[in-house]
């Protein structure tokens, strides 16, 4: 985590803000190509490792232009969904972290295609399916209790939908051949690496566990009308929304609690004694 924070301080200014806006533009162009001349994509834009190694390096980027589905309606709906997921993650994580996560997925796809060509002698035309799926996994991990309407009817929490998608990926990995397994593993490597890099391992720190236990034992039943959770930045409480989540920051000095929108973006409280709400 500290390594990632150092990288953000050093290279954060190079992050592309509103990245999903550019991805949606690529998808719009891809939908047009898909309707007019699908073979143009495979001839000049797809992730063909053999042609990339011969100098057609633009394919590293242009393979993302094609949307993951064949029909226009599905592409429009899923593009809107992943745009919403991506912009929410960027707003909560910050532009730099979201950029790192997204482009790690792109690099994983490129490595998978090159690996398949060099090791198996096969051309793997990888689409954006697993890249988009990695966005959903990241969203479900960050907001596990946020509710979706499956087929616009069935309410289901993000974590359970993530489990369903995860099972389908694992099943594909188990039943697929070596090529499929390599493609899945390398295409989703951004989710694995990123969350290993950014997890807060203080949760398993004995001192942190003891501190939380002491806090719980000292907590008293709140009087009627009082709130149990309050964001130290925006002041929102659990009464402002049933889907709001609150977490304590182990890096801040003192028991400061933050909502889901400020947990990753607030400035840490140090020995200066300045409260988080004084930064804004």
- Would you say residue 186 has pLDDT above 80? no
For residue 157, what are the β-bridge partners? 147
Structure confidence at residue 257 (pLDDT): 85
Whether residue 207 is found in the same domain as residue 248:
yes
Structure confidence at residue 21 (pLDDT): 92
- Domain boundary at 152, 174, 198, which? 198
Structure confidence at residue 199 (pLDDT): 57
Distance CA 47, CA 42 (A): 8
- Note down the domain range covering 223: 201-278
pLDDT tens digits, one per residue of 246-256? 888 777 777 78
104 band by pLDDT with thresholds 50, 70 and 90: confident
- Would you say residue 221 has pLDDT above 70? no
Rounded to the nearest integer, the mean pLDDT of the chain is 78
Listed ranges 49-58, 87-96, 129-138, 265-274; the one with the highest mean pLDDT: 49-58
- Would you say residue 103 has pLDDT above 70? yes
More confident residue, 269 or 209: 269
Total number of domains constituting the chain? 2
Structure confidence at residue 201 (pLDDT): 46
Whether residue 160 is found in the same domain as residue 230:
no
Whether residue 255 is found in the same domain as residue 186:
no
Structure tokens, 203: 């949760």
Distance CA 50, CA 59 (A): 11
- Domain boundary at 173, 198, 223, which? 198
245 band by pLDDT with thresholds 50, 70 and 90: confident
- Would you say residue 57 has pLDDT above 80? yes
- Domain boundary at 170, 198, 226, which? 198
């Amino acid at each position: 985590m500290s390594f990632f924070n150092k990288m953000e301080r050093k290279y954060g200014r190079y992050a592309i803000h509103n990245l999903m806006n550019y991805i949606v533009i690529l998808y719009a162009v891809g939908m047009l190509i898909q309707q007019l001349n699908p073979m143009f994509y495979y001839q000049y834009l797809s992730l063909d490792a053999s042609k990339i190694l011969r100098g057609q390096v633009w394919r590293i980027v242009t393979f993302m232009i094609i949307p993951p589905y064949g029909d226009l309606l599905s592409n429009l709906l899923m593009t809107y969904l992943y745009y919403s997921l991506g912009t929410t993650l960027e707003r909560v994580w910050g532009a730099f972290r979201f950029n790192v996560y997204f482009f790690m997925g792109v690099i994983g796809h490129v490595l998978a295609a090159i690996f398949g060509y060099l090791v198996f002698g096969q051309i793997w035309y990888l689409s954006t399916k697993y890249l988009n799926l990695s966005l959903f996994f990241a969203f479900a991990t960050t907001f596990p209790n946020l509710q979706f309407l499956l087929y616009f009817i069935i309410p289901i929490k993000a974590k359970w939908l993530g489990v369903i998608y995860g099972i389908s990926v694992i099943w594909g990995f188990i039943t697929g051949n070596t090529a499929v397994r390599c493609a899945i593993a390398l295409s989703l490597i951004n989710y694995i690496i990123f969350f290993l890099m950014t997890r807060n391992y203080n949760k398993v720190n004995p001192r942190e566990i003891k501190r939380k236990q002491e806090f719980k034992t000292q907590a008293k039943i709140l009087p009627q009308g009082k709130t149990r959770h309050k964001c130290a930045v925006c002041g929102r409480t659990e009464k402002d929304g049933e889907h709001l989540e609150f977490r304590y920051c182990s890096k801040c000095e003192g028991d400061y609690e933050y909502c889901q929108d400020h947990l990753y973006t607030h400035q840490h409280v140090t020995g200066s004694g300045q409260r988080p709400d004084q930064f804004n």
